[in-house]
Structure 1
């Protein structure tokens, strides 16, 4: 397929609820003892499951059963974007006149787009910032051009370099979208993700280094430059829930970033909100919808990239905004 342009957005989910903060907010230092302790704790799961106000169920998920806190923190690869860059990036809002549905799921709205429901695995690498961007870009190519295509996370991760941050040691979602606009990304077929093992082995050790940028398709039938797909620009969306919903409703899934606490590793089902545990870092995912439970609790619908062993989607509370 020839190089293609598509207008896309990235934004930071900045809500006023106490458990949601701008991704990459500086976490308090953790002791060596804490960093080397297991991320999954029976005491945390018990506290959540015995709390009638929690609204979600916790479990000791096998996916993280061998992880220490330090190993889990490596997956949280969102670095805090400099305030100057945020202020200089256009922030859009949408007219309030559009009547939105009470519940919306992009997987249903655009059922022809198989990429929306794909759940990937970032493996050993703190590449969430790259996954959220490239997955959203893939979805929007399908939504706007009716083309099911999986784009390459590896291209962005390996070739963006210092512009995007530190590769597997974390990056900046905003700069990722700037890379997509200026340099584009090739298809996944051309440049597949470097970690095909995922996190199936104990603790995901050793941590992988950022892959090298090769700029050559693994398949001899494809040419790197001709496989490139571009976004037009990068912009922020107002943190008002209506603006976020309208953006998804009109244009498709978006990348969002939020602060992760210890209890998030224990998520099993329900509408998540922070209950207990230390702040660990910033994480980026793909936002694909929203809804309201029968009890009247509002939530965001998120697709995470920790493999289906952890869970295909997550419901994140936003009713306290």
Structure 2
């Protein structure tokens, strides 16, 4: 078998060198064949030579990138050597700017075609100046907008930026929940995940403030899928975090984890590797048959939008979003 793999790899290299203009794309095609070992090793060597001077990678990182490229091929996509090198330069620049505070890596999303990445952004911007206002564009209980803006400008002028605050240190029992990052897969549902995750964090912090326990289990994780499937936004085609919060305020929200854990009332149903996931409508019952708490009992109606309206905790990142695709926890 080892001889077959070696011969297959040699044949593939000869074939690439004589018939193609981009060996990377051909190797990605070879990964879909039945003999992967030799192709994967050849791919790692190609990546090492291609990226070495731009983004030096350890053996572990090379293996990880090769596996992600294999996953990319299985999803029906490919990437050219030129485009991969371009994205490597972007990651190297991010790491230069962060100064070691955190390190960007290749992940599957950063390897997808740009048009696919754009579909995943999902977060639709709201009208200018509405981010800190109530439903009708004004805070009925506060001063006129002009005075509020003047106060904000005055505070900003005297603001000290060297103050560090980490909610995970302030409420350590919530650290596992705050650190919990979900995968949206190939659905433009970041808006729903953002709202559900922020709501989850705020719920935990409120419990911790009142000296109640905050175990890291499905009872304390709220469902991005419920927002995605039941609010009036555009599902996998995008939505607004602000409108998602309004929906939570009006309807409440049930529990639900990510696809991997499949726990809670309405866990996320989409496998990260599924292309073009389709919503099946809003369910008025729990979609997880193993969850024993009835839907109407499971839903929580916690807090109001006032805190978010006043200090705008939840804002979309609307510029240079592609940089976020390089982040890996």
Same fold (TM over 0.5): yes
| Partner SS for 2:317 | strand
**How far 1:137 moved relative to its partner?**
1.1
Contact 1:132–1:256, Cα closer than 8 Å, also in 2: no
Counterpart pick for 2:118 among 46, 49, 73: 73
Alpha carbons 1:157, 1:167 under 8 Å: kept: yes
Provide the residue aligned with 2:252 in structure 1. Answer: 184
Assess if the C-alpha contact under 8 Å between 2:265 and 2:295 holds in 1: yes
Per-residue CA deviations over 1:106-134 (Å, capped at 9, x if unaligned) read 22221101210111111111111111111
Distance change (3 Å), C-alpha of 1:99 and 1:63 = same
The aligned residue for residue 172 of structure 1 is 240
**In structure 1, distance between residues paired with 2:94 and 2:172:** 37
Where relative contact order (Cα < 8 A, 6+ residues apart) is larger, the structure is 1
- Aligned match of 1:45 in 88, 104, 113? 88
Which one of the candidate residues 276, 299, 304 is aligned to 1:228? Answer: 299
Deviation at 1:50, TM superposition (A): 6.5
| Structure 1 contact 49–56 (Cα < 8 Å) conserved | no
Cross-structure match for 2:320: 261
**Equivalent residues in 2 for 1:41-190, closer than 5 Å:** 41-46=84-89, 49=92, 54-55=97-98, 61-64=106-109, 66-83=111-128, 85-86=130-131, 88=137, 90=139, 102-113=163-174, 114-146=176-208, 147-148=214-215, 149-160=220-231, 162=232, 165-188=233-256, 189-190=264-265
Aligned residues: 214
Structure 1: 5+ residue stretches without partners? 1-35, 245-253, 268-309, 313-321
Closer, same or farther in 2 for the Cα pair 1:262/1:129, shift >3 Å? closer
Larger radius of gyration: 2
Question: Is the 8 Å Cα contact of residues 41 and 60 (structure 1) preserved in structure 2?
Answer: no
SS at match of 1:229: coil
- The structure whose residues are more often helix, as a share, is 2
TM-score (norm 2): 0.54
Q: Let me know the Cα RMSD of the aligned residues.
A: 3.7
Equivalent position of 1:208 in the other structure: 277
How far 1:256 moved relative to its partner? 2.4
* Cα deviation digits, residues 161-218 of structure 1 (max 9, x gap): x2xx2011100111101011110101110111111x22xx4xxx52212342112122
Instruction: Pick the structure with more strand per residue.
Output: 1
Secondary structure at the aligned position of 1:46 is classed as helix
8 Å Cα contact 2:203-2:302 kept in structure 1? no
State how far apart, in whole Å, the 2-side matches of 1:220 and 1:54 are. 45
Where 2:225 maps in the other structure, the secondary structure is helix
TM-score (norm 1): 0.56
Q: Any stretches of 5+ residues in structure 2 without a counterpart?
A: 1-77, 140-144, 209-213, 257-263
